């Protein structure tokens, strides 16, 4: 049966000060009416019943996740005692679903993306799941690029492998790191490159087989977790084993070396909402090109991203800035540095100002 | 006897969002340990006993003023039901002091200046008071300029009139509006120009005589107030009459046309702390030239004025900005616009966001 695994392990750094450790991006409504995690759940619900939707999240956000998704059985929220990247996260979820469903197929998705044409998205997801259920392999969903985006990683298509209903299934040639502008332009015109969405489908058992073959240390740790999951010692074993698991991503740790890897190109609106600039594209804009959210006054000021979660934000005579105001923390930086909020958060950490992190 | 009249009628616009209607500049500690009003009181206390120190302030700030100056008799805090500029304020105070002291001499001072060499300042104040007590006339204290400041009004000296102890008393030739840079340079080298401090001395009766001669409407209104001050109707008469008084300044409404007007040049450090830029000159500065107050992180950023009354303020990659953060309002503007905070406040008023004004 198809299970959906929502990876909700964000740190809350890229959207500081709106996001915090205890309130990371997926729990926020960034330029949306609904928090991203809730939207992700609702997007899946018509395809997968709540009993087969799983969320892997940080211990610090498990309770907030539970409150946001009351439909989920308690046991479907898996709390990571430490963050060990997506390979460990996907492996833990595979063990969890296999307990009750040895033939489980997993669709694995980040909790914090914005996706349009949701019915079409579910159709692609179902096709990918049907494909791997029948033919096996690890499959990733790629998004058809609509612009020469330098902020995303790309997938390079191999030969077409088959069709699954209306969807074309390709062999996956390789993962490509974020390109410069020239390469991004070439990728867009090549017709052979997709944005890497970080959304996957596989049989849970096959995922674990690939982990065992490629990252035996990780597999051994995951096996210990799998055995303990239903025991009273589950929490203690998780707390002991999980933090020592090798930290690597699904992309580079598992997919790149997988024996059978595939991709389905999906032509839907998609954003990983990776920075304040990405959020700004979705906010209402005033005549001077200021993207604003909250009580914002912009006088003689243009092209700014002005977001407040409470305080009145008054701006005059400035351009191209990101200003984010909350009652206890304020960020001001140029829009072109929007990817570097993390460095600010690290500097705040160095100062010991943990109360606002 | 010498009375001190502190004019504390500020609106709280120039230092928004740190200052508000109910918490104007004189109640704040701007780049100081002590609120400006309290400092003004303590500066005067060695010269004038609390029983003869008077404060004229807005009704909205009367209670906060009382709490900040518990030494003052209750009746020494005069609450203006509306703001009618300094001539009305000085006239009201003159009536108030004359009730108990028909020969009262008043030193009249703004509540919100920073003044160094306080003993020397008191010496000048006492000399000015002695001079007017004996010889009459309206006297203003001018500050010896130390730079070609374009942000202040100036006094032009007339002929030297006399000496009062170590202090020289000049006839006051004229008031000069804020000059441009060239004229400010000429003023500095002329030796005949002083910064207009807005600090005065006169006999209360003579001040009222000049008001009667020059602004009969104001005098008539002030007479009605004076008669009612000791009656149970005082509050009602004040509320009725004061808002209708002509609004003009001491400088232009009274001093310019006064028959006998004098000035004493005073060579002490002085600032009217008129904008965030002036505050910045008194704040600690980091290696990149950021003047900061509160929990501020400035990365790759220089020459900014960064003030927080609570929130953590994190800045990266910006220059020459004023950023002021409070829990419920944030201001961002270029330093060179620091004089224009008032326009921001007016725009906020137009929006009806009175809760942060």
The CATH number of the domain where A219 resides is what? 3.90.550.10
> Is the peptide bond between B171 and the residue preceding it cis, with omega within 30 degrees of 0?
no
Phi, psi of B198 (to 5 degrees): 75, 20
∠ CA(B315), CA(B317), CA(B319), 5° rounding? 85
| pLDDT confidence of residue B284 | 93
Neighbouring-strand partners of residue A262: A139, A171
Inter-chain contact A348–B314, Cβ cutoff 8 Å? yes
A328 touches chain B (CB under 8 A): yes
CA-CA distances (angstroms) from residue B211 to A215, A314, B203, B299? 93, 42, 13, 56
| B313 contacts on A by Cβ (under 8 Å) | 329-330, 332
If one counts the domains in chain B, the total is 2
- Which of A327, A332, A347 shows the shortest C-beta gap to B332? A332
Length reported for chain B? 357
- Residue B181 shares a structural domain with residue B315: no
β-pairing verdict for A77-80 and A53-58: parallel
- Are the C-beta atoms of A320 and A335 separated by less than 8 Å? yes
- Residue A97 shares a structural domain with residue A77: yes
Interface test with A, best of B18, B300, B314 (most A CBs within 10 A): B314
- Which of B310, B317, B327 shows the shortest C-beta gap to A337? B317
Q: Supply the mean pLDDT for chain A.
A: 96
The 3-state DSSP class for residue B305 equals strand
Positive or negative, the CA dihedral A207, A208, A213, A218 is positive
Chains A, B: CB pairs < 8 Å: 125
| pLDDT confidence of residue B338 | 87
Phi, psi of B302 (to 5 degrees): -140, 155
Out of A271, A304, A329, pick the residue that ends a domain. A271
How many other CB atoms are there within 10 angstroms of residue A154's CB atom?
25
- Residue B198 shares a structural domain with residue B323: no
C-beta pairs of B299-302 under 8 Å, 24+ apart in sequence? B299/A343, B299/A344, B299/A347
- Residue A333 shares a structural domain with residue A204: no
Residues of chain A predicted below pLDDT 50: none
Q: Which among A341, A349, A347, A224 is positioned nearest to A277, based on CA atoms? A: A341
Q: What does the pLDDT look like over A178-188, one tens digit per residue?
A: 999 999 999 99
Length reported for chain A? 357
Out of A227, A254, A271, pick the residue that ends a domain. A271
Residues 6+ apart with CB under 8 A from A178: A150, A151, A152, A153
| pLDDT confidence of residue A10 | 77
| A310 contacts on B by Cβ (under 8 Å) | 328
- Which of B311, B332, B337 shows the shortest C-beta gap to A327? B311
- Residue B251 shares a structural domain with residue B317: no
CA distance A351 to A15: 19
CA distance B8 to B20: 14
- Burial profile A95-107: b = 16 or more Cβ within 10 angstroms, e = fewer: bbbbeeeeebbbb
- Are the C-beta atoms of B282 and B290 separated by less than 8 Å? no
- Residue B222 shares a structural domain with residue B165: yes
| A356 contacts on B by Cβ (under 8 Å) | 311-312
Residues 6+ apart with CB under 8 A from B350: none
- Residue A283 shares a structural domain with residue A266: no
Question: In which element (H, E) is residue B242 found?
Answer: none
| pLDDT confidence of residue A290 | 98
The most distant pair of C-alpha atoms in chain B lies apart, rounded to whole Å, by: 63
Output Rg (C-alpha) for chain A, integer angstroms.
Answer: 21
Report the predicted TM-score, pTM, of the whole model to 2 decimal places. Answer: 0.88
- Please give, rounded to a whole number of angstroms, the shortest distance from the CA of A13 to a CA of chain B: 13
- Residue B238 shares a structural domain with residue B326: no
Residues 6+ apart with CB under 8 A from A125: A44, A47, A107, A141, A199, A201
Inter-chain contact A337–B327, Cβ cutoff 8 Å? no
- Residue B285 shares a structural domain with residue B166: no
Q: What is the DSSP letter of B82?
A: S
Out of A246, A271, A296, pick the residue that ends a domain. A271
- Residue B225 shares a structural domain with residue B301: no
- Burial profile A25-55: b = 16 or more Cβ within 10 angstroms, e = fewer: bbbbebbeeebbbbbbbebbeebbeeebbbb
CA distance A260 to A268: 25
Full residue range of the structural domain in which residue A212 is found: 2-271
How many other CB atoms are there within 10 angstroms of residue B211's CB atom?
27
- Residue A205 shares a structural domain with residue A188: yes
Predicted confidence pLDDT, tens digits, chain B (357 residues): 999 999 998 777 899 999 999 899 999 988 888 999 999 999 999 999 999 999 999 999 999 999 999 999 999 999 999 999 999 999 999 999 999 999 999 999 999 999 999 999 999 999 999 999 999 999 999 999 999 999 899 999 999 999 999 999 999 999 999 999 999 999 999 999 999 999 999 999 999 999 999 999 999 999 999 999 999 999 999 999 999 999 999 999 999 999 999 999 999 999 999 899 889 989 999 999 999 999 999 999 999 999 999 999 999 999 999 999 999 999 999 999 988 999 999 999 999 999 999
- Residue A141 shares a structural domain with residue A256: yes
Neighbouring-strand partners of residue A1: none
Query: What is the token pair recorded at B199?
Result: 């600090």
CA-CA distances (angstroms) from residue A217 to A90, A213, B294? 15, 10, 48
| pLDDT confidence of residue B324 | 97
Query: What is the token pair recorded at A279?
Result: 């959020």
Q: Which among A86, A125, A73 is positioned nearest to A8, based on CA atoms? A: A86
Inter-chain contact A353–B312, Cβ cutoff 8 Å? yes
């Amino acid at each position: 049966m198809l299970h959906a695994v929502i990876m909700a392990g964000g740190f809350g750094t890229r959207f500081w000060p709106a996001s915090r450790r205890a309130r990371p991006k997926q729990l926020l409504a960034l330029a949306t009416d609904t928090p991203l995690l809730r939207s992700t759940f609702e997007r899946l619900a018509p395809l997968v019943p709540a009993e087969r939707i799983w969320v892997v999240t940080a211990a610090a956000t498990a309770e907030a996740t539970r409150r946001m998704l009351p439909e989920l059985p308690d046991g479907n929220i898996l709390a990571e005692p430490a963050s060990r990247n997506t390979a460990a996260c996907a492996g833990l979820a595979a063990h969890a679903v296999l307990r009750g469903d040895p033939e489980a197929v997993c669709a694995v998705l980040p909790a914090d993306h914005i996706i349009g044409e949701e019915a079409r998205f579910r159709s692609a997801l179902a096709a990918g799941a049907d494909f791997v259920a029948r033919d096996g392999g690890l499959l990733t969903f790629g998004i058809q690029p609509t612009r020469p985006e330098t902020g995303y990683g790309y997938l390079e298509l191999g030969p077409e492998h088959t069709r699954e209903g209306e969807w074309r299934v390709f062999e996956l040639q390789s993962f490509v790191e974020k390109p410069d502008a020239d390469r991004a332009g070439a990728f867009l015109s090549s017709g052979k490159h997709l944005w890497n969405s970080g959304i996957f489908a596989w049989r849970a058992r096959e995922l674990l087989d690939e982990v065992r073959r490629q990252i035996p240390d990780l597999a051994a740790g995951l096996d210990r977790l799998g055995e303990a999951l239903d025991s009273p010692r589950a929490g203690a074993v998780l707390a002991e084993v999980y933090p020592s698991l090798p930290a690597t991503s699904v992309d580079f740790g598992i997919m790149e070396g997988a024996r059978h890897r595939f991709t389905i190109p999906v032509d839907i609106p998609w954003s990983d909402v990776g920075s304040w600039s990405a959020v700004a594209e979705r906010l209402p804009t005033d005549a001077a090109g200021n993207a604003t959210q909250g009580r914002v006054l912009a006088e003689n000021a243009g092209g700014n991203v002005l977001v407040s979660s409470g305080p009145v934000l008054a701006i005059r005579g400035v351009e191209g800035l990101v200003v984010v105001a909350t009652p206890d923390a304020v960020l001001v930086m140029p829009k072109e540095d929007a990817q570097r909020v993390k460095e600010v958060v690290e500097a705040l950490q160095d100062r010991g100002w943990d109360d606002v992190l």
